[in-house]
Structure formats: C-alpha cells, structure tokens
Structure 1
Amino acid sequence: MSSSSSSSAAAPPVEKPSAVFSIGINGLTSVVLSQPGGYSAEVLLYGGQVISWKNKRGDELLFISKKAVFEPHNPIRGGIPICFPTFINNGSTEQLGFARLRYWEVDTSIDLTTSSDKASIDLILRPTNDDLLKCPNQFEFRLRVILEPNGDLKMNSHISNLNSDGKPFTFLFSYHTYFYVSEIREVGVEGLEKVDYLDYLQNKKRCTEQAEAITFDSEVDRVYLNTPDIISITDRELKRTFTIRKSSSLPDIVVWNPWEEKAREMTDLDTIEYREMVCVEAAAVGSEITLKAGDEWTGTHHLSVCPWTLGKGC
C-alpha cells in the first residue's frame, strides 16, 4: 500500500456516513469510514492506526511507505501511528511504545456510526501480561476516530490509570502523523515562529525558532515546546494546506524528516521516499504526563486540508 501517487480512484459514493469492516494486506482487519462527499479514512485494528485518509477526489493525504511491513510485531511506516506508552527510563526516552504493535478491540457497546452525520469507530487497548513487564501499569486506552462530513479527520484518545495499588502512571504520547507531500523542499510548517524547541540532532540543544515557516533542505528532528494549538503545513506544489488543531493537553509539536542518508539506513523506507513525507506530530513529549490512580487524560487532534493560502490554515 503506498501514498506515493495522488491519482488513486475515489471511493464509491455512499448515501450516508458508514463504517465497514474490511480485510486487507496479510489478512489485517480494518474499518473503512466513508462520507457521501467521497471522503474516506481507513483504521487498522492492528495498532489502532489510521493508514489512509482521502479527500473527495480520492487523493491520498497520508504517506505510507512502499516498503511498509504489514505484519504482526512490526511497526507500519506511515499513516498515524500512536506512540504510547513512551516513557523515560534511566534518563533516555523509550521510543514509540507498544500501542502501535498491538491488536485493539472494537468497542461493541457503541454503534460503528455514532451519529447521523459522522462516521466513526471506537477502539480499546488494555495491556497484555507481556506489556506489563515493560510498563507495569494497568490502564485502559479508548480511541475514537471520526471522519467528519467535510472530510476532516479527528482522533480522540482517553487514557485511564487503573492501578489498584494507587500507583501513578507516567508516560509520553504523540500522534506520529505522516503527511503525504509532493516534494519536501516545497513544504513549509507554519505557526511555530518564536517557539522554543529541542534539536535532537544537536543532543537536544534548546533553540528558538526564528523562521515564519520551517522549510527543509536536510534532516530535521525537533520537538517544539508549548506551541500554539493550530499548526499549518503548506505544500506549494500541490497547492494545499494541512491544518492541525490540537487540545492543550498536547502542548508540543514534533517535526521530523529523515532525509537521504538516514532514509538509506531504514529498511522500511525507500531511499527517495523521504521526499514524499513530513511528520508533524501533536504530542506531549517535552514533559511527562502523570495520572493519579483513577484519573483520565484526554488528547485530541483534528486534521483538515484545504487549498493553499499563504500564512493561513483551513
């Protein structure tokens, strides 16, 4: 499955919002959300991962690598992996977490389509015995993915600390979103001017962003701290703008592109595919989230796409 071409056919028209189970690559089950305007999104039960988001013309808006591995126990390169429960261990960050490597349950207590105008799916993740060896915390993670009538994509995460011993639960979190772009050099990320960031290519050196729009001519790996809640990604060649609207519980934005040398080292990314993607992630990674026993954390992000307008989001 690949998003390297934006000429894929539009989904067959539907008369009302729908959510339909589908069997895909290697027998992995997904739910396809559709709207009458031709919009669609696909959510894998493996990883609770959105692997497709299309506009009414059938153009793919998320990047999936041609070399992505759709097999159990492997992360899938692209779409929107959920990075949880990432945590700090002996001063270093444990990368990405296991939520993206687990099968999520469908919440059968909620209809697949939950209203007259929204197509949605509700999923639940609970830790396995093996997970508890890595992260000894009882929790429940409820995820709702919504495809709006106008094609916007919304993800709501609710994480509850169920530790019976009263122990707090501490973690980091991000929606690791891979946006499909025409050419990385034609992309600008707007809304982060004057925001402090940690540069992971310089041993987490703290810097302040000076540019009105972040552009790309080499590898970028940064965590922007305490950012505005609205961020835009412009693609000048495709003449479209993505907008991220996030809850204040996701204070940070991660901006990442591996560039050519790092891409060569990645077995699940084609050498030139770094040119077709940019990761801009709503996240809580600058400082840890701590839940007391019985407490719940909620993190929401809302993705829109519209014709490109200089300096303005959707």
Structure 2
Amino acid sequence: MSASASSPPAGEENKQEAAPVRHCKGVNDLDKVVLREVRGSSAEVYLYGGHVTSWKDEHGDELLFVSNKAIFKSPKAIRGGIPICFPQFSNFGNLEQHGFARNRTWCVDNDPPPFPVPTSNTAYVDLILKPTEEDLKIWPHSFEYRLRVALSPGGDLMLTSRIRNTNADGKSFSFTFAYHTYFKISDISEVRVEGLETLDYLDNLQDRARFTEQGDAIVFESELDRIYLGTPSKIAIIDHEKKRTFVVRKGGLPDAVVWNPWDKKAKAMSDFGDDEYKRMVCVEAAAIEKPVTLKPGEEWTGKLELSAVPSSYYSGQLDPDRVIQDSTVPEDSIS
C-alpha cells in the first residue's frame, strides 16, 4: 500500500537503498521513514500517526497487514500496521476511539534524551509528539511522547514508547495504551495464539464481562475481541500454513488484546475489505485494565519487540530466558 519515493538519479539507487535510514514520501505525499538492515529486512514509519506500516524480513516478505482500503489521510487513522492507541484504548472514555496519537502528525526527534540502554543499531528513527492547542481542549494535559522504532541486525522490529508528564500545574494524569499490531497471516483458520491460556480476559463483545480462557490456545472461528489480563512478557502467534511463528515480547505492558473482526464487522468497515479478516490478526501489547498514572516529571516506558521465526517453534520451546531487551524494567515502568 505504501507508495515509494520518486526514482533516484541513475547510479544512486543502490546507494540510497542501502542507507539504514531514508526519509521520503509515501501514499498521498505523506512523509515517511524507511529503515533497512544490511541483511535485507526493512520497516516503514509514517510521521502521520507515528505509524509503522511495513515490516519485511530479509527475503522481502511483508509481515504486517495493511488494508487495501486503508485511507492515508487525516483525520482517518491508517487501517493496519501498528497504530498507537494513546491516551485512550477503545471508546471507554471521553475521547475518540483509541485516542488521538494515531491521527496526529509526529515530528522527527533529532535530540532525544539518552535511552537507558544505548543501541548499536543504525536502522532506527526517533519521533516525538506533543499536544496541540486543540488536543489540550479535549485532553487537558501536557505531555511529551517519544517513540523509537528500530530494526535489529537480525530483522526484529522494536518499538519503545516513553511518555512524560510535563504538566506545569502540578496535576497527575492517567492513560490507557496499546500497540494495535496487525499481523499478516495466511488464513485466520490456520492460526493459533499461545501463551494466554488459563488467563482471565475481558470480552469486548459482552460489555467487558470477565471470563477465564479455557483452551490450550486461542483459535478463531468467529469474531473475537478480548483483553487478556496479567499476561506474560512473551506471546506466540503460530501460522501453520506459512510455517511461521510471530513472537511478541513486551515490557511495561501487562495486558494483551486479541482481535479479529470476522465477516460481518469487516463488511461494516469502509476502510477494510470484506474478506481481509481472513489475512490478519491483531495481538496487541497493552496497558488497559489499570490505567497508567504519571505525576509531573514522571515518565513511563512501554516496549514491544516482534520476531518472526520458523513455526517448528511453539511457545513452550521459545527461549524462556530471552524476554525483551532491558527486561529489568518493572511492569509499571515509571521513573
């Protein structure tokens, strides 16, 4: 779906393609940043929404789903990829669905404060979002939201969010949050999600009634929209037909949302194809049940790391000692 920048001059193409970070234009002439690792993996990040719209492995296979009907134009959020849900998840609050961060234009952060753990990666970009006057009218809190999107040399995709309360009036604020990740899959009937068995969840299809997961894995036979609580730092999405497993590692994000709209809801969404539900699944690292509260000057960190590995792995075989970089960050992740 992403449009490429205009063709480079003769002889410059290979040089530009090899650059680890490239700023160019995407769909509807929107600014985007292309990240590329030397082994061939890549990612695309739109400044509109601070939105990752593409993540490809070293073979050029796309790993994220973006709808063919996605609208790359304000005020509509981009349908697919990794929308940022902040400062509100869903519509349980006074703000628009999933908050406003996903349909604001972010800026490149050329002078971010040091990260707790320096990265040796060269394929990364730092973005920043601050509230506009209009934002302050609907959510009267001053904040700085810094987002780093990075590719590891092995092709893992890493997102780090740092949200700071910059209120000058001494007031705290609370928010809910999710990385609303759309994974591209072969067929929803061929997919299972492991790592959430025996956990309690809130069912969004039943007014957030609370249940306990009974299956040994989550499989899909109809619309599903659940918020799993107190989840482990690692979740596996197994695509049998693709012989691929996505591994979701997270820090500071105790909840996980699993969503597929199925056929009826898919047909009701103007920016989503009628049959596209078969080729996507959302598994979202989130902080929803217990909102994050920050006092002035406090900062929260939420981390997401995505890997794609052969599906001969399953959740029980994944290295239990490898969680997420800087996994010593406590679950509340507030400093």
Q: Same fold (TM over 0.5)?
A: yes
Deviation at 1:286, TM superposition (A): 1.1
Contact 1:15 1:36 (C-alpha < 8 Å) held by counterparts: no
Determine the structure 2 residue equivalent to 1:221.
225
Deviation at 1:109, TM superposition (A): 2.4
Deviation at 1:15, TM superposition (A): 9.2
Question: CA, structure 1 residues 143+131, in 2 after alignment: closer, same or farther (shift >3 Å)?
Answer: same
User: Residue 276 of structure 1 is aligned with which of 267, 274, 279?
Assistant: 279
SS of the residue 1:30 aligns to = strand
The CA distance in 1 between the partners of 2:86 and 2:257, in whole Å, is 15
Matched, 1:27 2:29: yes
Contact 1:47 1:81 (C-alpha < 8 Å) held by counterparts: yes
Determine the structure 2 residue equivalent to 1:128.
132
Aligned partner of 1:41: which letter?
Answer: A
Determine the structure 2 residue equivalent to 1:8.
none
TM-score scaled to structure 2, two decimals?
0.86
Deviation at 1:311, TM superposition (A): 2.5
RMSD between aligned residues:
2.1
Deviations 1:234-259, CA, capped at 9 Å, x for gaps? 00000000001100x20000000000
Determine the structure 1 residue equivalent to 2:20.
18
Determine the structure 2 residue equivalent to 1:7.
none
Deviation at 1:118, TM superposition (A): 3.5
Aligned partner of 2:246: which letter?
Answer: F
**Structure with a larger share of its residues in strand:** 1
User: Residue 302 of structure 2 is aligned with which of 293, 296, 299?
Assistant: 299
Contact 1:13 1:37 (C-alpha < 8 Å) held by counterparts: no
Contact 2:91 2:98 (C-alpha < 8 Å) held by counterparts: no
- Structure 2: segments with no counterpart, 5+ residues: 3-12, 113-117, 320-335
Matched, 1:98 2:100: yes
Question: CA, structure 1 residues 66+16, in 2 after alignment: closer, same or farther (shift >3 Å)?
Answer: closer
- Structure 1: segments with no counterpart, 5+ residues: 3-10
Contact 2:90 2:98 (C-alpha < 8 Å) held by counterparts: no
The CA distance in 2 between the partners of 1:231 and 1:90, in whole Å, is 25
Deviations 1:100-138, CA, capped at 9 Å, x for gaps? 11111101226xxx8654410000000001111111000
Question: CA, structure 1 residues 176+89, in 2 after alignment: closer, same or farther (shift >3 Å)?
Answer: closer
User: Residue 40 of structure 1 is aligned with which of 21, 25, 42?
Assistant: 42
TM-score scaled to structure 1, two decimals?
0.91
Contact 1:124 1:143 (C-alpha < 8 Å) held by counterparts: yes
Deviant stretches of 4+, over 2 Å: 11-17, 87-95, 114-118, 309-314
Determine the structure 2 residue equivalent to 1:57.
59
Question: CA, structure 1 residues 203+117, in 2 after alignment: closer, same or farther (shift >3 Å)?
Answer: closer
Determine the structure 2 residue equivalent to 1:205.
209
